[in-house]
Chains A and B, each alone.
Chain A
């Protein structure tokens, strides 16, 4: 009899373990968004540079413009036919549905913000969770007399040769020095 008690304890323990597994299975919610590319592929995509679209190319029926700025700025002025997905709300339910719909219809989403910097995080995130139909519209938006001015914006070009500037400044100062010493 004593032995039976012991085995009962064992079976109770194992039933508890099984219950635990079942409960964790039932409680488990599959995350809505999971990565479907690894970091290496993402890096290759990022280097490839084929995800930039200029302002002159947007007249394509397959393109959907996505404004990543907040609602206030969107209401103040946005490009024609643009939809608004504010960055922090990118992964919420409504926007997820929207993203899925666009993916199904094979539309390409063009992200734009006040400048291209504002879109890079969204673009890379969307790319990594499987929305490969995303591109960046390289534009800069600014306001002039309450009207939205949109112009192309170059990505990452070196504007000045700093070493040359420093050398020049040193030369100039030498000249100045010579002048002062002459006088």
Chain B
């Protein structure tokens, strides 16, 4: 009995399948359309943005520069004028408004180097970071405090007072040594031949275009 019923249904199977196909195709036409925008999901972006992991301290950065760590790119997101006035050694200037130009994206969207973004404070650098993070660019970090913090800690470190722990003194002597590396001279340690270090350092970076993996087709 069941078999006979089944046979009856099955005799219509081509029509049923055809109907299903038409329905599915019609479903595509009828579904409400919405414009899709690129980027990782807003939830992910939020959880990335509230994590303090993206910040790198000025001490860490100074260490990296002095060690001549070749694995990172420093990117200055301020405008050209302030970049010309002062920039950290080896930095590349990508003003915020040119952030998504093709040329800049070549620097930002690659996985060879770590990227460290900085501005005067870390406000603009954070904005750049968020835009890049939405586009899922990898290995981006932000210099905490930016140039101002750089000045306050590395270039002109505050002398610890007598009652501070030893750690503060260690940090101070480290920072002082770092500041001397970046051209600051101290009266008590003056040496005659010191003036040559103050030229802006430039590094040529060739960034390979991130290869877009495209599948090859064939029959």
Contact = CB atoms under 8 A, between A and B. Distances in A.
Chain A binding surface SS class: helix
A90 to B, nearest CB: 6
Contacts of A155: 121, 123
B169 interface: no
Interface in A121-135: 121, 124-125, 128-129
Interface in B75-114: 82, 85-86, 96-97, 99-100
Q: What 4 pairs across the A-B complex have the smallest Cβ distances?
A: A176-B187, A121-B49, A173-B185, A35-B37
B177 interface: no
Contacts of B58: none
29 contacts: A14-B20, A15-B17, A18-B20, A34-B34, A35-B37, A35-B38, A36-B37, A39-B131, A42-B134, A43-B96, A47-B96, A88-B46, A91-B43, A116-B123, A120-B123, A120-B130, A125-B49, A155-B123, A158-B147, A161-B86, A162-B150, A163-B85, A165-B184, A167-B198, A170-B183, A172-B185, A173-B190, A176-B188, A177-B190
A97 interface: no
A39 B97 contact: no
Interface of A: 7-8, 11, 14-15, 18, 21, 31, 33-40, 42-43, 46-47, 87-88, 90-91, 116-117, 120-121, 124-125, 128-129, 155-163, 165-167, 169-170, 172-177, 180
